[in-house]
Amino acid sequence: MKRKRGDCSSSGTANNKSMEIVWQSPANPPERHDYIFHDGRRHVRPYYFEFISHVKNRWAGKTIVDLFAQEFKGRPYDYYVDAVKSGRIQVNGEIVPVSYIVKSSQKISHFLHRHEPPVMAWDISILHKETDVVTICKPASVPVHPCGQYRKNTVVGILQAEHGLAPLFPVHRLDRLVSGLLILARNAAKADLFRQQIEGGMVQKRYIAKVIGVFPEEEQVVNANVDYNAREGRSSTEEENCPGDRLSKGKSACTKFTRISTNGTYSIVLCEPITGRTHQIRVHLRYTGHPIANDTLYLDDIVVTRSTEEVSTNEADKVNIDHSVKDDSDESSSFDFSIDPMCTNCPNLAPKGYGGHEEGLWLHCVRYSGPGWVYECPYPDWAIL
């Protein structure tokens, strides 16, 4: 629920007046007016939010300011001093001095002005709406559910704000830069049924990808372990049966690939993952020597130049369904939002560190099928060579 709190900035801040602020928590649903559309991007109007965490054992014994400065390095030390003095950082719901020593398991609240990264401004197309299932075509760049810096700028958040669909339970996930079919259950029981079928190997998945080069005409099956490095945010491959006594890294993974078409420069490939590892299709295509043509994470420098030029001349993220783009004529395109005197991101809409313009991967989920059910999504424009 939303809560009103009187907030005052520190003595070192120019604006020293008390502010009556509406603080939000994860319980507050996104609403249609939360979004600002500008320059082909969907922004979230900055809002006040309460982040809650509990003191870990390795944090115990530190001062409250040192804890934040060392563990959350996105803001300067002086910000955390001011935030503690003004009550924007609290321990167990109480204002504490900057010298306060935290103890294990204590509740820490950080009240801040939250700026979410923008996503592409495509509408989310609803493909099927049933009593207990909704399927949609997910645009590239939009995460499925709240994670990291994203909360309202997610598939779940946008569907709730613009279509009143809640609660929703994603049955499977697509990486943020991947587009295509996404299945969402409308109750927990249906979601559990889908997950049981997926975990039981009863669900078949199909994706299409646009890759570099002429992909072989005959079916290709890749059996290569996928080892995901969370620190680097990328995966590597290794054949299952490695010579010698060296232990294999990663998890076993298998993907079947079939060429759909080629124009001599690129190929459209049907990808059927038998397992579900992080970046499996992307890294297995690279393993074949035919990486996704605009996948900068798994391309060498020479290929990156050519593929990114292709992205700029082809609107790679369009799909042949109702993915209309909201433009600046929308009444919510106004830039008026509250400028917070303590915020380290204001007056910009996007948070600091946001990399700017990004495109979606040429990887698109087209079909999921299981016992007695099939859901499909149209092909994207880039699939036509």
**Cβ neighbours for 132, distance < 8 A, ≥ 6 positions apart:** 185, 186, 187, 190
DSSP H helices in 86-235: 155-163, 188-199
User: Is 132 designated active site?
Assistant: no
Amino acid identity, residue 74? G
**Cβ neighbours for 58, distance < 8 A, ≥ 6 positions apart:** none
Tokens standing for residue 243: 């010579």
- Look at residues 131, 170, 112 and name the one whose alpha carbon lies nearest to residue 340: 112
Which CA distances in Å does 145 have to 9, 56, 123, 237, 298?
Answer: 33, 25, 16, 28, 25
Is residue 43 within 8 A of residue 350, CB to CB? The reply is yes
Is residue 188 within 8 A of residue 138, CB to CB? The reply is no
Q: Which of 66, 123, 175, 381 is catalytic?
A: 175
**Cβ neighbours for 193, distance < 8 A, ≥ 6 positions apart:** 185
Query: Cis omega before residue 170 (within 30°)?
Result: no
Angle at 322 between CA 181 and CA 209, to 5 degrees: 40
Known catalytic residues are 175
